[in-house]
Structure 1
Amino acid sequence: MQTGNREVLNRLDVVWRERNCSVVRGLLQELSLSWAQLVAHYGPEASKVCRLSIYVTGEDTEERRELAREVEKVLPGRLKTGRARFDEILENHTIELAKSESRQSVTLLTYCGGSNAKKTLREAKIRCDLLAAATGNEKHQMDFVAENFGPGA
């Protein structure tokens, strides 16, 4: 949204993909506190302002099931299991923008991780750009910034 000459953030979508349950567990308290601050400020609208999805991709173990119970207590509905389908997430985002009343938008897609997922995201972003152009929604722009680490970085 634009107010005067400045851009205003309408919504923040965070998709976190993590293999290791202990990493998620280590940040759970901080995430919970941050979420509580959002709810205190925005009330029931907090879920519209910030969408948080945590995908735990490790094997289905008792540790992962215990983590799911812990997350459900403080961040209900946020933990998913299995791989994040970035192509679906981005396509749904693009379709949602096209259906919205907003005539234009800028989406900043950031990624930090390995090169395989980066390539997948870049390809999905290009498909979404084509979808936006084909449906007359080219004023909904998506910028992609990536940082690599790990093998092939």
Structure 2
Amino acid sequence: MAIEDVKRYFQQWGVEDRIQEFDVSSATVEQAAVALHCEGKRIAKTLSFLVEGKAILIVAAGDARIDNQKYKAYFHTKAAMLPPADVFELVGHPVGGVCPFGVRDGVDVYLDASLKRFQTVFPACGSSNSAIELTLPELEKYSHYRAWVDLCKGWE
């Protein structure tokens, strides 16, 4: 199960006990906000795309949407989300629990500027009923991100 993989991944920093698991689904931004009793915009959703045949992840605020023009200017290709059936195989986490932690080798992680307005955010932890509260420096450290990007709209 992917959440067990994420727990093992977080053991190297001793933070696996900070993962929260819920009796209800946190698979969508709205469900996660209810489960966590926070604003949806503080949910750090992880979106999976295909670039040059390779999976990438973009972590963005819950109220942000990918801006196709910004995406194309950065990646030089049209935004194409991974088909749900391919997400687990290419990323290592199931749809609803995709996160930037403990992903398959070769998956690049990008953090979107929409997150920078928060002290802490809540990304998923590999299952559709989990999350962890992280500061932005923690998110950077644990995600092994490649770059901060500005690829979203609707949150400004």
- Give the TM-score band, short-chain normalised: under 0.3
Structure with more relative contact order (C-alpha pairs < 8 Å, separation 6 or more): 2
Give the structure with higher Rg (CA): 1
TM-score (norm 2): 0.26
Structure number with higher helix proportion? 1
